[in-house]
Amino acid sequence: KRGKHPIGEGWQKRATLDPDDVRDRFRSHHGNIGVYLGLTGLVLIDADGELGLETARTWQLPPTLTQRSGSGVGAHYIYQLASHQDARAITDRSKFAPGLDVKARGQFVAAPSRNASGGPCAVTVPLAPAVMPDWLFERLRKPVREAQLHPASGGSAGDVHERARLY
């Protein structure tokens, strides 16, 4: 099936950051290249359509590496996690804000290319990925549910909240 999906099962296990390995793999490959976010410490904010672009403007996202999405109406904002930010705190999810998806650990982004399911994914802001500011990291963190303390649990509210945060 043509599109921007990975070829084959287990692509995450075959992903590599070794430049020689990448070069060898793609000597005879005639498809697009994807970047597996799980290896890189990169997080992608996917603004879908005009609604997503408006939400991104409202949030005043800091300048970073940005590419036009394949639809031609949307953008991928790519940030590097700071050393104190844990990728496990971010869950890949769709529509976490109006028109915005977040992709981190289990996802990939197509490198600038053209695919059968859309137009070209082209870099529009050619910067290195900016370090994600803490305010943005906090917005992207997976929601922490308020824990209900059972009187017999013996734990304090602080303990429960800390365990929930770490989850």
Query: Per-residue pLDDT averaged across 136-141, rounded?
Result: 91
Q: Any idea which of 29-33, 42-46, 73-77 has the lowest mean pLDDT?
A: 29-33
pTM for this prediction:
0.69
Please give the residue that has the higher pLDDT: either 115 or 70: 70
pLDDT confidence of residue 21: 82
Closest CA to 50 of 67, 73, 71, 76: 73
Listed in order, strand segments (DSSP E) in 23-129 are 34-36, 42-48, 65-68, 74-80, 93-97, 100-103, 108-110, 113-114, 120-121, 123-125
Q: How confident is the model at residue 122 (pLDDT cuts 50, 70, 90)?
A: confident
Please give the residue that has the higher pLDDT: either 58 or 18: 58
d(CA 152, CA 154): 6
